[in-house]
Amino acid sequence: FIASPRPAALPTQRRSLALSNTAANQAVAEVLSDALPYIMEHTGETIVIKYGGHAMEDAAASLQFAKDVVLLKSCGVNPVIVHGGGPQIAAMLGRLNIETSFVEGLRVTDTDTVDVAEMVLCGKINKGIASSIKQAGGRAIGLSGKDDNLILADKLQKVITDPGTGISKMLDLGYVGEIKKVNTKIISDLVAAGIIPVIAPIGVDERGQTYNCNADTAAGAIAGALKANRLLLLTDVKGVLSKEGELFEELTTERVSELMRDGTITGGMIPKLNTAVNAVKAGVGAAIILDGRARHALLLELYTSGGAGTLIKG
Ligand SMILES: Nc1ncnc2c1ncn2[C@@H]1O[C@H](COP(=O)(O)OP(=O)(O)O)[C@@H](O)[C@H]1O
Ligand SMILES: CC(=O)N[C@@H](CCC(=O)OP(=O)(O)O)C(=O)O
């Protein structure tokens, strides 16, 4: 019998503390034990996590997010991160004195704006998240939809109808991308190598033209193409709320349509729920909308009995 050596990173003193049967240590052990069925349930699952620009504004919370992602990976989950960065793009456009506007939740994207979106998303944010995951002890590689043609896109073709006049017209949002295809090979290669993919929602067409894609839409398309077990959409509210402000813990795709028709769901929640519904229809096990600002939101959702946000299933 050869005793396995202690990992060098853990000093002996920590070990003796951990061995002492204090109430605090006992509580930690209980929590870990209670999580066992959930850890077993999610082992081997592919979970696409959309990490939005609002959720990442606080530096301490960002590092905590990275630690939780590494914890998931250590528990056998295959997390795939798709990030946004809307507020950060807006801040950089502001510094460059470039005006910006949104139509139906999508940023009108001219040639200057697409350059800034690509620089902010693929440069600062993407590399920052990959680096935080590394600092937290994991391995991550940052990619954009241009790497290995991961996100093949085209100019968005969207028709809107004026509710007053009933007249329809084609929206021209410039270089906003509509996702045509997700090439999952590079994602599966990285996952197989134990590396967490971190993906920026910048798409490319066959001629090499760059497109700015909405990050929720990109996360949904990637989850659908991977046939992921779960899509987690981290946002800045507890989940989907009723008109009285109560959290819906679970919604079917049919109930979502009803809530859109009766005006319970409005604004930015509409594209988010459309993404969730489309992902579920594309074969994703469930989509969950949850509060990315909450401490340990991912762990609460996956490893506790209550879950954390609104679960949408078929
Ligand atoms: N029924 C609803 N439940 C929760 N949020 C809603 C609802 N209807 C509209 N919203 C709005 O949707 C917002 C989330 O969408 P958005 O701001 O686009 O999020 P993100 O920036 O995280 O992508 C909420 O902050 C809230 O203002
Ligand atoms: C076309 C379009 O609107 N693209 C988004 C991409 C970033 C994004 O979606 O970021 P959040 O998830 O933080 O909102 C934008 O330019 O803001």
Choose one of 99, 212, 217 to mutate for the ligand 2 pocket test, by most ligand atoms within 8 angstroms of C-beta. Answer: 212
Q: What ligand has the least distance to the C-alpha of 178?
A: 2
**48 bridge partner residues:** 80, 231
Looking at residue 205, what is its pLDDT?
Answer: 98
Q: Which residue type, as a one-letter code, is found at position 38?
A: Y
Query: Which residues form the domain of 158?
Result: 42-313
Q: What ligand has the least distance to the C-alpha of 175?
A: 2
Q: How confident is the model at residue 3 (pLDDT cuts 50, 70, 90)?
A: very low
86 lines ligand 2 (CB under 6 A): yes
Q: How confident is the model at residue 279 (pLDDT cuts 50, 70, 90)?
A: very high
Looking at residue 236, what is its pLDDT?
Answer: 86
Compute the mean pLDDT over every residue in the chain, rounded to the nearest whole number: 91
Q: Looking at the predicted complex, does its ipTM rise above 0.90?
A: yes
CATH of the domain at 209: 3.40.1160.10
116 lines ligand 2 (CB under 6 A): no
Query: How many other CB atoms sit within 10 Å of the CB of residue 220?
Result: 30
Residue 37 lies in a domain: no
Looking at residue 211, what is its pLDDT?
Answer: 98
Question: What Å distances lie between residue 63 and 40, 49, 135, 138, 157, CA to CA?
Answer: 25, 15, 8, 12, 38
Instruction: Tell me: pLDDT of 47 over 70.
Output: yes
Q: How many domains does the chain have?
A: 1
Long-range contacts of 98-101 (CB under 8 A, 24+ apart): none
212 lines ligand 2 (CB under 6 A): yes
Looking at residue 15, what is its pLDDT?
Answer: 56
Rg (CA), the chain: 21
Instruction: Tell me: pLDDT of 164 over 90.
Output: no
Choose one of 82, 103, 107 to mutate for the ligand 2 pocket test, by most ligand atoms within 8 angstroms of C-beta. Answer: 107
* Contacting residues for 288 by C-beta, under 8 A, at least 6 apart: 230, 231, 232, 233, 239, 301, 307, 308, 309, 310, 311, 312
* Contacting residues for 178 by C-beta, under 8 A, at least 6 apart: 153, 154, 155, 156, 157, 158, 213
Looking at residue 122, what is its pLDDT?
Answer: 98
**Of the candidates 219, 217, 223, the residue with the CA atom closest to the CA atom of residue 270:** 217
241 lines ligand 1 (CB under 6 A): yes
Instruction: Tell me: pLDDT of 179 over 90.
Output: yes
Q: How confident is the model at residue 19 (pLDDT cuts 50, 70, 90)?
A: low
At 121, give phi and psi (nearest 5°).
Answer: -70, -50
Looking at residue 2, what is its pLDDT?
Answer: 43
**Of the candidates 79, 88, 81, the residue with the CA atom closest to the CA atom of residue 124:** 88
Residue 23 lies in a domain: no
How far does the centroid of ligand 2 lie from the alpha carbon of residue 85, in Å? 6
Residue 87 lies in a domain: yes
Looking at residue 4, what is its pLDDT?
Answer: 43
Nearest CA to ligand 1 atom 9: 266
Residue 217 lies in a domain: yes
Looking at residue 5, what is its pLDDT?
Answer: 46
pLDDT tens, position by position, 199-255? 999 999 999 999 999 999 999 999 999 999 999 999 889 999 999 999 999 999 999
Residue 10 lies in a domain: no
